[in-house]
Structures are given as C-alpha cells and as structure tokens.
Structure 1
C-alpha cells in the first residue's frame, strides 16, 4: 500500500494536470456541479503545483529553494490582502484566502510550465553540445 501511495504521489507531482483532471472528474460525478468541481480541482491541485515547482527547481539547479517559494507565497499573501483591503475597505478572510489560493494556482501553473520548458531546453542543449 505504501508503494502504491508513493508511486501515485510521484506521478501527480510529476504531472499535476493528471491530479487536476482526476479531482475534477470525481467531484463532477459526485456533485453534478461544474463550478464546485472546478473549485475543488483548483484548490487541491495548488498544493501539488507548489511541490512540483519545488522539485523541478531541485532537479534543474540541484538546490532546494523551498524557503524562497514559501517567502514568495507570504509576500504575495500580504500584497493580495492589502489590495483586497484597498478595493473593498474591509477584509473578508474567506474571500481573501480563496482569491489568494486561486492566484497561487495561476502563478504556480505558469512557473511549472516555464520550468518544464526551461528544463527541457537546458537538458537538450547539454546533450547536443556535450556529446
């Protein structure tokens, strides 16, 4: 059972889109509500994307920058909260966290795609010129 769980975690961290599709499909079948399925998939996939970006950074640069990722997320949370306060003049924590988490999904999706492209180009360049 432990091997199955670790293999599933490795697959989902390597390909977070599979996790997104799986969660979306399961919630959509259970609730028959597209919006709830979309939100559940986005909220749960954000964790996977954060770990995916971390492991891509470790693979590409052979150093862990998890502290930088967490610091980036905290700074983003502060700016997002200030922006919410300036526009609404009241902080509604549930809405702030939901918007912040969706923003993290978007940002880490871009980081993931960018790191995948960067990693493939870097490895291809190394293979071509270091033959």
Structure 2
C-alpha cells in the first residue's frame, strides 16, 4: 500500500497537470460548482508544481535551488502585502495568502513548462 501511495505521489509530482485534472474532477463531482472546483484544483496543484520545478532544476543542474525558491515565494507574499496595504490600507491575511498562492501557481506552471522544454532540448542536443 505504501508503494502504491509513493508511486502515485511520484506521478503527481512528475506530471502536475494530472494532479490538477484529478482534483478538479473529484471536487466537481462533490461540489457541483465549476469555479470552486477550478480554484481548489489550482490551490492543490501549486504544491505539486513547486516540488516539480525543484525536481526539474535538480535534474538539469544537479542543485535543488531550495533557498532561491523559498525567497521567491516570500518576495511574492511581501509584494502582494505591500500592494494590498497601499490600495486598501486593510490587510486581510487570508486574501493575501490566497492571491500569493495563485500567483505562485501561474509562476511555477510557467517555470515548469519552460524548464521541461529546456530540459528536453538539452537532452536532445546531448544525443548529437
């Protein structure tokens, strides 16, 4: 059973789009709300994207880049906090974290695509 769970987790980290589809489908069946299901799937998949980008970075350059990723996430949270503070002067922690987390989804999904293409090109070039 442990092997099955670890294998499933490995697949979801390797292919985060599959994680998004699975979470969306399950939450859509439970809630019957398209927008809510989309947002929940996005929130869950962000975690898998961050781990996936770290794995790809390690595969390409043999370095985890953990601290730059943590610093990047913190900078995003700080930037959004300052923007909300300048705009509304009322800082809602849940709103800030939700916005930062979804911005991280966009950033890391873009990074995932770019790094996958880069890694693919590098491996094909190495074959020649």
2:84 and 2:121 map into 1 onto residues whose CA distance is: 38
Give 1:51 shift: 0.1
Q: Name the CA distance, whole Å, in 2 between partners of 1:75 and 1:31.
A: 34
Q: 2:124 maps to what in 1?
A: 124
Task: Give structure 1 regions of 4+ aligned residues with deviation exceeding 6 angstroms.
Answer: none
Residue number in structure 2 paired with 1:57:
57
Gaps of 5+ in 1: none
Which residue of structure 1 aligns with residue 99 of structure 2?
Answer: 99
Instruction: Name 1:36's counterpart in structure 2.
Output: 36
State the TM-score, normalizing by the size of structure 2: 0.97
- In structure 2, the residue matched to 1:108 is 108
Q: Alpha-carbon deviations, 1:11-59, whole Å to 9, x = none? A: 1111000000000000000110011101110110000000000000000
SS in 2 for 1:90: coil
Q: 1:87: how far off?
A: 1.5
Alpha-carbon distance in structure 2 between the residues aligned to 1:96 and 1:78: 9
Aligned partner of residue 90 in structure 2, secondary structure: coil
Distance 1:104 1:16 in 2: 14
TM-score of the aligned structures, taking structure 1 as reference length: 0.95
Instruction: Report the aligned-residue RMSD.
Output: 0.7
Report what 2:14 is aligned to: 14
Structure 2 CA distance, aligned partners of 1:80 and 1:30?
32
